[in-house]
């Protein structure tokens, strides 16, 4: 007799790009865990420290911190921004202000949407 196993959730892939030149990089990394918990979404986080202007140019680094969720940038990046390690990212907040990090709810919503797009392959126990 075959019966379905309990599905393990598929992880949402988050690439966290940062530079130590921006002071919010540690809080920015912690925000991923808090947002994933708030959204109820398991994540696999790949942390990438950008350490040179050449690397920033090579990967089109829009500033620190940057969140790529399944490869897509959480926020629209200004294509005219210089690609250098000392560029800090600015995020528009829900009240219209600008901040160095996205809001917890903004990141949690994006993670939740990515998690909802997952359809784990069915596993069968024999």
Give the separation between CA 51 and CA 19, rounded to whole angstroms: 7
Range of the domain at 96: 8-125
Could you give the C-alpha distances from 126 to 5, 57, 123, in angstroms and in order? 10, 51, 10
**2: pLDDT confidence band, cut at 50, 70 and 90?**
low
pLDDT value of residue 27: 95
In this prediction the pTM is 0.82
How many domains does the structure of the chain reveal? 1
* Rg of the chain, C-alpha, whole Å: 17
What CATH number has the domain bearing residue 23? 3.40.30.10
**123: pLDDT confidence band, cut at 50, 70 and 90?**
very low
Q: Where are the alpha helices (DSSP H) in the chain?
A: 25-39, 53-58, 104-116
Mean pLDDT, rounded, of the chain: 86
Average pLDDT for 102-118 = 92
Tokens 């696999």 correspond to what residue?
44
- Checking if the pLDDT of 35 tops 60, the result is yes
Give the separation between CA 18 and CA 40, rounded to whole angstroms: 24
- Checking if the pLDDT of 23 tops 70, the result is yes
Residue 91: asked if its preceding bond is cis (omega within 30°), the reply is no
Q: Decide if 42 is inside a domain.
A: yes
Average pLDDT for 70-95 = 85
Q: Decide if 117 is inside a domain.
A: yes
Q: Decide if 3 is inside a domain.
A: no
């Amino acid at each position: 007799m075959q019966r379905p196993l309990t599905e393990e959730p598929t992880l949402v892939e988050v690439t966290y790009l940062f530079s130590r030149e921006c002071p919010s990089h540690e809080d920015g990394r912690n925000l991923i865990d808090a947002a994933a918990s708030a959204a109820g979404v398991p994540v696999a986080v790949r942390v990438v420290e950008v350490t040179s202007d050449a690397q920033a140019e090579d990967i089109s680094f829009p500033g620190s911190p940057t969140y790529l969720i399944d490869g897509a940038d959480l926020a629209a990046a200004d294509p005219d921004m210089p690609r250098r390690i000392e560029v800090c990212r600015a995020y528009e907040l829900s009240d219209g202000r600008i901040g160095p990090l996205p809001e917890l709810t903004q990141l949690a919503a994006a993670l939740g949407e990515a998690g909802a797009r997952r359809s784990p392959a069915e596993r069968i126990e024999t």
